[in-house]
Amino acid sequence: MSDAYLALEDGRVVEARGRVPGYTRGELVFTTAYTGYEESLTDPSYEEQVLTFSYPLIGNYGVRDERFESDRVHPRAAIAREFTDDVATWLDDESVPAIDHIDTRELVTAIREEGAMKCGIAVGDDVTPEDAKEQLAKCKGMSEHVDIGAQVSTAEPVTYRAGGDAHVALIDCGAKGSIVDSLLERDADVTVLPYDATPEDVAELSPDLLFISNGPGDPANFTQAQSLVEEFVGEVPLAGICLGQQVVARALGGTTEKMDFGHRGVNQPVRDVESGKVVMTTQNHGYTVGEPGDLSVSQINVNDGTAEGLENEDLDVITRQYHPEAHPGPNDSLDFFDDVLAMTGATEQTTVVSSD
């Protein structure tokens, strides 16, 4: 164990117990999920952020790599009321600073009242509050990373064969592995393309569906993915999840905006506008669609009215702000993948219920 300090943008410096040494900085956010810490920590959408868990004990069922959503931990640091030794060891192996023995309730309240804020963290045997303040000062002087996609995307195209009738071109802006799995489970072949793929790269595949994935940061930074939507809309069916919804909306005349503290957790209620049905969803995003442009709002968040689903039947476009693949989280909205693949004309798509 070692000393640790967390310096916040609001001027406070909080003392904690160090579990993994290091110095770092980033945007402080929180998740309300009480299970699924492995999935959350390996979610590329947390790239460059400092993740606070509101649930007090993180690690009570160990660490298993088959639950990972990518090949590494993405937050720059992790904070909890208490980390088990299993999780602390894992984060140490990943060289991700971690602190606990901190009042996470107070942190979450501060973020909810003041919004996501920048922070600096210093962990080590001889660290001081000034070390954490120095990290915060560096963070405050940094502009948002406009090429963040390069840190989370595949470098080269990768194809996964399921032997089905549909071929999906998935633009990897930081895709969770469960999105690929959900498509493969429905017998769709999937080619994962880099976030900066060109129209020629996509055209060469002749895909039945263009799918824009989730990812970190501001959707305005994913200009190449937006240009792909503009190029192929009306010619190839389009789908998007999370950041993917935002990118699609921007390409079709919509707007996006940064939220105060975002939606991060596994219990966000979403209402379908047409049926009135409410489902519970998993979410992880700090931006949202403001004006939908050429799309219509098909689903809304019950808590704050933000757009959770967009569509345009004439253009064959369906998007979701939340994560229908829901790892971790409820399986209420898995039929999204059936609806998406139905646009391709593939035969007899069957809903698959996850065992996780």
The answer on whether 243 is annotated among ligand-binding residues is yes
Residues 191-218, buried b or exposed e (16+ Cβ, 10 A)? bbbbbbbeeebbeebebbbbbbbbbbbb
pLDDT confidence of residue 350:
44
Long-range Cβ contact pairs of 65-71 (< 8 A, separation 24 or more): 67/36, 67/38, 67/39, 67/327, 67/356, 68/38, 68/39, 68/42, 68/177, 69/39, 69/42, 69/43, 69/44, 69/176, 69/177, 69/178, 69/327, 70/42, 70/43, 70/44, 70/152, 70/176, 70/177, 71/42
pLDDT at 142: 62
DSSP states along 189-207: EEEEEETT--HHHHHHH--
215 is in an annotated binding site: yes
Strand, coil or helix: what is 219?
A: helix
- Topology of the domain comprising 2-140: Glucose Oxidase; domain 1 (3.50.30)
Q: Which residues face 289 on adjacent strands?
A: 256
**pLDDT score at 23:** 98
pLDDT of residue 146: 75
Residues in the chain: 356
Q: How many helices (H) and strands (E) does the chain have?
A: 10, 19
The structural domains of the chain, with segments of one domain joined by +, span 2-140, 149-342
The number of CA neighbours under 13 Å toward the Cβ of 271 is 10
User: What pLDDT is recorded for position 351?
Assistant: 42
Domain 149-342 class, CATH top level: alpha beta
The residue among 230, 203, 233, 209 whose CA lies nearest residue 315 is 233
pLDDT tens, N- to C-terminus, the chain (356 residues): 779 999 999 999 999 999 999 999 999 999 999 899 999 999 999 999 999 999 999 999 999 999 999 999 999 999 999 999 999 999 999 999 999 999 999 999 999 999 999 999 999 999 999 999 999 999 876 666 678 999 999 999 999 999 989 999 999 999 999 999 999 999 999 999 999 999 999 999 999 999 999 999 999 999 999 999 999 999 999 999 999 999 999 999 999 999 999 999 999 999 999 999 999 999 999 999 999 999 999 999 999 999 999 999 999 999 999 999 988 888 888 899 999 999 998 755 444 444 44
Q: Is 267 annotated as a binding residue?
A: no
Report d(CA 248, CA 103) in Å as an integer.
39
217 assigned binding-site residue: yes
CA of residue 294 relative to chain centroid, distance: 25
Task: Determine the pLDDT at residue 330.
Answer: 84
Q: How far apart are CA 57 and CA 212, in angstroms?
A: 34
Residues involved in catalysis = 242, 323, 325
How many angstroms separate the CA atoms of 288 and 13, rounded? 31
